[in-house]
Amino acid sequence: MQSNSSMRTPLGRVRGLGSAKSGTGHFWLQRLTAVANLILTVIFVFIVVALVGKPYPAAIALLSHPLVAILMLLFILSACIHMRLGMQVIIEDYVHEEGMKILAVMANTFFAIAVGAASVYAVLKLSFGG
Partner 1 sequence: MSVAHRVTGTGLYLGTVLIAAWLVAAASGPAAFDTAQWIAGSILGRLVLFLYSFSLMHHMVGGLRHFVWDMGKGYEPQTRMAMAKFTLVISAALTILIWVVVLATR
For ligand HEM, the binding residues (CB under 6 A) are 30, 34, 37-38, 41, 79, 82-83, 86-87, 89-90
The answer to whether 101 touches 92, Cβ cutoff 8 Å, is yes
Using the contact rule CB under 8 A, the part of the chain among 8-16, 18-26, 56-64, 97-105 near partner 1 is 56-64
Task: Tell me if 105 contacts partner 1 by CB under 8 A.
Answer: no
DSSP for 72-120? Answer: HHHHHHHHHHHHHHHHHHHHHHH--SHHHHHHHHHHHHHHHHHHHHHHH
The smaller minimum CB distance to ligand HEM, of residues 61 and 106, is found at: 106
**Measured from the CB of residue 67, what is the shortest distance to ligand HEM in angstroms?**
20
Task: Tell me if 77 contacts partner 1 by CB under 8 A.
Answer: no
The answer to whether 63 touches 69, Cβ cutoff 8 Å, is yes
The smaller minimum CB distance to ligand HEM, of residues 44 and 51, is found at: 44
The answer to whether 68 touches 111, Cβ cutoff 8 Å, is no
Say how many C-beta atoms besides its own lie within 10 A of residue 66's C-beta.
8
Rounded distance between C-alpha atoms, residue 36 and residue 19, angstroms: 27
**Measured from the CB of residue 19, what is the shortest distance to ligand HEM in angstroms?**
16
The site for partner 1 (CB under 8 A) is made up of 31, 34-35, 37-38, 41, 45, 49, 52-53, 56, 59-60, 63, 79-80, 83, 86-87, 90, 115, 118-119, 121-123, 125-126, 130
